Structure formats: structure tokens, C-alpha cells
């Protein structure tokens, strides 16, 4: 079967479409035929930096597809499913024609969007949900999402709005302001210097800025970015955890129309290097899918 592998770290040229043996699902596992996956920043970082499982390795965290074999009574052959796989920690990459995963990581795909598009949801969505939970974001509170037009930020804006919070956004460029408003942000800026000072009960940073001047006294500052936290009391990082329960909740929100999955572009797996180049150029409004 085909899989995107790396045997060394580097630029997009280290990505190869390899022919490798099909995985044999272990006890309790589900074998999924991949419809699509998506690109996340962790994928180019794992490709480029000395991080992740021993090489050679298959990359990828996001998965949508159909069950072709199951040793988990919760999943049946033919089911349309999605999953989040913590590839760095486990080595279970999803950029592969067939993926074997423990059944407890797999959940039903949303039905309101094409199965391929559902691959845009897992990592970005679960990260946004868990970061908002870490921030204890509550109805009526004012929240600033930094990177509000990005993958995690765009979902965080929608999720926070759905829980009744009042959400503002900071985006990287003026032409992204309308997108953040469309996702549910009330006020949107593209220059950090313009942010109101000491105003927000929660700042959720997805871009690695120091936006702490916008945090109200006693507020919660949560970052998912690699950059060091600003020096404010209680600032904390949120690190995504695999959770089919969270993923299932997100899929339900997609089906009820409360969460919009945004796809910017889609590449066939053979064009994986071009997909990486597009992704790393930035400025995206939505995810980059890779289809199998």
C-alpha cells in the first residue's frame, strides 16, 4: 500500500510515496481505508526537525475513511469514521492508504460534510476544544483568539461562540478580518498594538505572540504555540490529547451546523510535496487536505 514516509528530516523533498506492507490490526484495533488526511503544522515540524518516532516513519495525525476490518464491537465494516492519532508519541502516522488504530480512538464521521473534508477536523478541532476547556471559557465572558483565521483559531472562535462567549480575534493580515467575523468574532484586528488593554477574561493564543497586555487582571492566558509563555500569572500551555469523545462532540456540532469545517485546498497524495509547499507558504483560510 502507499504511504507518505520520511527516512531523514529536511524539506519537502524528504517526503516519499513509498510502497509498504499493509498493517495487520491487533486486538481491539480497527483497520481504516483512508479517504483523506490533512496537513497540520506538526507535520512539517516532524518532517523538518529532529523530533518524532524513529525513522523511517509515516507522518500524519488526521484521518477520515471507511472501516475495512474491525476487532472492536463499536465499529463495523463500511462505517465512515474519523480519528486523531498522536503520531509523534506513538509513531502511528495516518498518511497511509490503510491505517490500523485502537478502536477507542475512532469515531463516526460527521454526515453533513463529504468524508474527505471531515479529515480537516480532528487535530485542529480537538486542540481548540481542549484549549478552551483549559481556559475554562464560560458563557458571557470576553475571549480573544489570537490567530483567529487559522485552523485551530477558526474552530476556537466558533466553539467559544457556540458556548455563549463573546469572542474577538487577532489575525495576521487585514484581508483575513472578514473571515474571522464570518466565523463569529465580534471585533477583529490584524495588529497586536491595536488590541484593547486589560480587557479579556481569556486569551487563547494559537500564533505564539505575547498578547498578554490584552488580558484582564485575573484572566486566563492559554497558549498552544511553541513559543514561551508570556510572564503573566497563571499562563499555561495546552497540549492536545487523543480523545474520541471530544472528536465525537465536534462531529455532532458539524452535523448540527454549529461548526463549519473549512477546506482551503486539496491535493492527491502523489502531490504531497506540493501540498507541503502550499501549506508552509501560510495565509490559508482553511485546511489543506491530502486525498488517497
Ligand X SMILES: NC(=O)c1ccc[n+]([C@@H]2O[C@H](COP(=O)([O-])OP(=O)(O)OC[C@H]3O[C@@H](n4cnc5c(N)ncnc54)[C@H](OP(=O)(O)O)[C@@H]3O)[C@@H](O)[C@H]2O)c1
By CB under 6 A, name the one of 206, 212, 243, 266 that touches ligand X.
206
Stretch 176-195: interaction string toward ligand X, x if CB under 6 A: --------------------
Q: Does 172 bind ligand X (CB under 6 A)?
A: yes
Instruction: Give the interface segment with ligand X, choosing from 7-15, 63-71, 214-222, 237-245 (CB under 6 A).
Output: 237-245
By CB under 6 A, name the one of 116, 146, 259, 275 that touches ligand X.
146
By CB under 6 A, name the one of 40, 70, 94, 243 that touches ligand X.
40
Distances (CA, A) of 270 to 15, 24, 95, 147, 291: 10, 24, 11, 30, 9
Residue 284 Cα to chain centre, angstroms = 14
Residues in 101-120 at the binding interface with ligand X, rule: CB under 6 A: none
3 state DSSP class of 204: strand
Q: Does 167 bind ligand X (CB under 6 A)?
A: no
By CB under 6 A, name the one of 124, 137, 143, 289 that touches ligand X.
124
Residue 279 CB, shortest distance to ligand X, in Å, is 8
Residues in Cβ contact with 20 at an 8 Å cutoff, skipping those fewer than 6 apart: 1, 3, 5, 58, 96
| CA separation for the pair 94, 34 (Å, rounded) | 8
Q: Does 207 bind ligand X (CB under 6 A)?
A: yes
- 41 secondary structure, DSSP code: H
φ, ψ of residue 10 to 5 degrees: the values are 165, -155
What's the full length of the chain, in residues? 292
Amino acid at each position: 500500500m502507499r504511504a507518505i514516509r520520511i527516512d531523514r528530516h529536511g524539506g519537502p523533498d524528504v517526503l516519499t510515496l513509498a510502497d509498504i506492507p499493509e498493517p495487520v490490526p491487533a486486538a481491539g484495533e480497527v483497520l481504516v481505508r483512508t479517504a483523506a488526511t490533512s496537513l497540520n503544522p506538526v507535520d512539517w515540524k516532524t518532517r523538518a526537525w529532529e523530533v518524532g518516532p524513529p525513522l523511517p516513519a509515516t507522518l500524519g495525525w488526521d484521518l477520515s475513511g471507511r472501516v475495512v476490518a474491525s476487532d472492536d464491537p463499536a465499529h463495523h465494516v463500511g462505517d465512515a469514521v474519523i480519528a486523531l492519532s498522536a503520531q509523534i508519541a506513538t509513531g502511528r502516522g495516518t498518511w497511509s492508504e490503510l491505517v490500523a488504530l485502537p478502536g477507542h480512538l475512532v469515531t463516526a464521521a460527521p454526515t453533513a460534510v463529504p468524508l474527505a473534508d471531515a479529515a480537516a477536523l480532528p487535530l485542529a478541532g480537538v486542540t481548540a476544544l481542549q484549549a478552551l476547556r483549559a481556559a475554562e471559557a464560560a458563557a458571557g465572558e470576553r475571549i480573544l483568539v489570537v490567530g483567529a483565521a487559522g485552523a485551530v483559531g477558526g474552530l476556537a472562535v466558533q466553539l467559544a461562540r457556540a458556548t455563549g462567549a463573546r469572542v474577538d480575534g487577532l489575525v495576521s493580515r487585514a484581508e483575513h478580518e472578514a473571515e474571522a467575523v464570518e466565523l463569529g468574532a465580534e471585533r477583529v484586528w490584524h495588529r497586536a498594538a491595536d488590541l484593547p488593554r486589560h480587557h479579556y477574561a481569556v486569551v487563547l493564543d494559537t500564533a505564539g505572540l505575547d498578547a498578554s497586555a490584552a488580558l484582564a487582571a485575573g484572566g486566563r492566558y492559554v497558549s498552544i504555540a511553541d513559543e514561551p509563555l508570556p510572564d503573566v500569572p497563571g499562563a499555561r500551555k495546552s497540549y492536545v490529547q487523543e480523545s474520541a469523545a471530544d472528536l465525537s462532540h465536534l462531529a455532532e456540532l458539524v452535523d448540527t451546523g454549529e461548526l463549519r469545517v473549512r477546506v482551503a485546498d486539496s491535493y492527491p497524495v502523489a502531490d504531497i510535496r506540493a501540498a507541503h509547499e502550499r501549506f508552509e507558504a501560510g495565509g490559508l483560510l482553511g485546511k489543506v487536505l491530502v486525498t488517497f
